Amino acid sequence: MIAALLLTSVLAAEPSPEQLALLKTFHAEFVSITPGEGVYPASFTLGDDSETAAKPAHSVTFAYRFSMAKYEVPQNLWEAVMGSNPSRWKGPRNSVEMLTFDEAVMFCQRTTELLRGAKLIAADEVIRLPSEAEWEYCARAGTKTKYSFGDQASELGKFGWFNGNAAGNDPPVGAKAPNAWGLYDMHGYLWEWCSDAWHDDYSGAPSDGSAWATGGDDKHRVLRSGSWKDKAPWLASASRRAGAVKLLDDAVGLRCVLAKAK
């Protein structure tokens, strides 16, 4: 009954009081990403020569600003927007998992409607999945090292959940240290859906930060971050893997971008 009422509210794009409280928290937790301002350059090198990264590495230059969610989407927000919680590892502030690419896109669309209805974002703003370039730019936080904190995997336990320190997708978001942007769990915890169609290499990839949403293998999408199931190399800033669009896995979730509609 509660799920049905929540779904009705979503479809009407009129958030209930309970939804509104979570949406306000979600909106307040976005971090403004400002390429070319302060210590953060407008350009960076996407990819590297590691075994877990696609090649060749190439330069990306951003001519726009956007905001990245401080945390992966937690289960209480997902349930408020979608009407149910698919996660295996239950916890209101645990990252939501067991969701397909299409469900991640639907969450973004419904959340956009609700935020507009609550006048928390403008009519020309959207919640969406990040492009692969946006994701890596945010993960690196101006660094050129393997991880945002340096090259030593021995330091990874301070910043991320991986198979060396996690028994499951059990802790709440933000339990580890953030990167320099103030973004949490960019290394590990859950793999995060990106909007790009899967390409084995970066030959011909966009250089403006946009998603590579056409061509390649459109039955798979890019996953970034590594997870609590993975070894340290898969948590590196440039590491990536393909995820079938209908994949359901308790090590796969999402993180959102707030940006101008294109």
- DSSP string covering 105-167, please? HHHHHHHHHHHHHTTSS-TTEEEEPPPHHHHHHHHHTT--SSBTTBS-GGGGGGT---TTT-S
Residue 1 predicted with pLDDT over 60: no
Domain that includes residue 203, residue range: 2-260
Q: What is the pLDDT of residues 17-65, one digit of tens each?
A: 999 999 999 999 999 999 999 999 999 999 999 999 989 999 999 999 9
CA distance 89 to 189: 12
CA distance 85 to 106: 14
The count of structural domains within the chain is 1
Structure tokens at 52: 């877990």
Helix, strand, or coil (residue 22): helix
- Based on C-alpha coordinates, what's the Rg of the chain? 17
Residue 23 has what pLDDT? Answer: 98
Closest CA to 227 of 243, 250, 251: 251
pTM: 0.94
CA distance 233 to 176: 18
Structure tokens at 106: 């639907």
Sequence letter at residue 113? E
Residue 6 predicted with pLDDT over 80: no
Taking residues 90-96, what's their average pLDDT?
Answer: 97
Structure tokens at 105: 């896109």
Strand partners, 5: none
How crowded is the C-beta side of 16, counted as CA atoms within 13 Å?
Answer: 17
Residue 29 has what pLDDT? Answer: 98
Taking residues 170-186, what's their average pLDDT?
Answer: 96
Residue 218 has what pLDDT? Answer: 85
* CATH number of the structural domain spanning residue 18: 3.90.1580.10
Residue 15 has what pLDDT? Answer: 87
Residue 67 φ then ψ, to 5°:
-125, 140
Q: At which residue do the structure tokens 């293998």 appear?
A: 217
Q: At which residue do the structure tokens 């999945």 appear?
A: 129
Residue 33 has what pLDDT? Answer: 98
